[in-house]
Chains A and B, each alone.
Chain A
């Protein structure tokens, strides 16, 4: 397998397309005018500056990564400098420690607990001010979300809520237990693009894209042309 370094080429952001909220992330990247693609084969990773592991079911994603040998591919590209952002299930896959289970990729030093809030009836929306990411409050959507119980010393906490941590990062990895792709906010996608060395088109000052609707992702999953 050829592994290229990210040099002069700006690179692309890939969304892991195995299961879960793929369209929603693609739609946000499109809104920011960023080059993006779906990735599901080993060869798809070569030109990625960044990879988004979407929300979905982490046991399903972990199983598919293992049986199709994509785990090692992701680890190799991570070591050549590819940045990775995990949302919800993606966050679980990136943790070094998962309560009561074996970790999957183990790329960021933190302990995470699957399904930390309870059932779907405990899913909720909120908002928070996250200075590093946006000048405006960021809307937060938690769906059967995991909880980060503690983060390692070299891990920077971006958002702490009541008794848990909701967003962290290190040099190469960004983690959110909530779903920015399910809100009108582009702030986290912009933040991740900058982390990947890319130049998102939209203004930093506007955290929310007023043109966004909760059905906006559907233009990427139409039945009628």
Chain B
């Protein structure tokens, strides 16, 4: 990926700011999402809540299903590849979708290496729990970051934890004298040049969305007020009682995140949210956020 292509890829993410990216598993859901005002859809075979329930190995979706979704909507289409599975990424690039999510929601293919994203022309978004993880992914070529949260739980607590951690570390780096950055970078595994960039910019050098457990308009507005640039909603929409209505409500609340009156209106009469999971009750080996490093 040359510098010009990388810039274009970062800039596509900029155009998604303030928007909601929705997980969809078929053409019908993709159309509902587009109609509701999603800025992009994430095409996958099973939403995270079902992946969690079914167990087994979760892989890249059938390209035929992704192609059908791509044909059905005009908004950007994203799809997931397994962490480290660069051939799944090659397939998705050959399919000419708009963005690849190298995602911990799928079963990792490599426990040592993430994908060398600089080898691709297509943009990548990657999950992160803290500043170091985000900057390592950017160093590997990611054009966009999202917090990992804990996908498929309908519980926003991990997304909040990851966003607060990232923001706390950004503030630390921004305020420390430059001679302290080397040590901080070493301790926390930050690529040094990118750490200096964060210090200068006072934020991540690419767009950062929140993901993992967002289930209500209030959850979306909470993440926006914590300083993210937009939100991913996975299982939260199509595992709820009235997906179209909830999807529209989350779009409204994300756009007017700072306006309690509008978030209130968006929160009325949505029917049942997806069933939630207490993080403490998930067996440690089933925590998705721990996948990747």
A: residues with CB less than 8 A from B are 17-24, 40, 55-57, 59-60, 63-64, 67-68, 88-89, 114-115, 118-121, 123-125, 141, 143-144, 179, 182, 214-215, 217-219, 221-225
Contacts and interface: CB of A to CB of B under 8 A. Distances in A.
Contact of A114 (B8, B17, B74, B201): B74
16 contacts: A18-B18, A20-B16, A22-B18, A56-B18, A60-B19, A60-B38, A60-B39, A60-B75, A63-B251, A64-B37, A64-B255, A120-B98, A143-B15, A144-B15, A218-B201, A225-B202
Q: Ordered nearest first, which 10 A-B pairs have the shortest CB separation?
A: A224-B174, A222-B202, A63-B37, A224-B202, A19-B18, A120-B98, A60-B37, A57-B39, A224-B171, A119-B96
Contacts of A124: 8
Contact of A59 (B35, B121, B174, B227): B35
Interface string B179-191: 0000000000000
A143 B18 CA distance: 17
A88 B170 contact: no
Contacts of B49: none
A59 B75 CA distance: 8
Given A56-B19, A214-B7, 8 more contacts: A20-B15, A57-B38, A59-B34, A89-B15, A125-B8, A141-B11, A143-B11, A223-B171
Nearest to A214: B7
A217 B17 CA distance: 12
A57 B40 contact: yes
A120 B99 contact: yes
A114 B173 CA distance: 42
Contacts of B15: 20-21, 55-57, 88-89, 143-144
B9 A19 contact: no
Contacts of A179: 11
B256 interface: yes
Interface string B80-101: 0000000000000100111100
Contacts of B53: none
B155 to A, nearest CB: 24
A40 B229 CA distance: 17
B123 A20 contact: no
Interface in B171-214: 171, 173-175, 201-205
Given A143-B8, A214-B10, A120 B229 contact: no
Interface in B2-41: 4, 7-12, 14-19, 34-40
Max chain A Cβ within 10 angstroms of own Cβ: one of B70, B97, B98, B175: B98
Interface residues of B, number: 51
Q: Which of A40, A119, A223 has the most C-beta atoms of chain B within 10 angstroms of its own C-beta?
A: A223
A22 B18 CA distance: 9
B74 A115 contact: yes
B253 to A, nearest CB: 11
Nearest to A224: B174
A5 to B, nearest CB: 29
A56 B39 contact: yes
Nearest to A67: B252
Contact of B122 (A22, A120, A219): A120
Contacts of B252: 64, 67-68
B63 interface: no
A123 B12 contact: yes
B122 A121 contact: yes
Nearest to A124: B8
Contacts of B240: none
Contacts of A56: 15-19, 39
Of the listed residues A17, A18, A88, A89, the one surrounded by the most CB atoms of chain B closer than 10 A to its CB is A18
B19 A59 contact: no
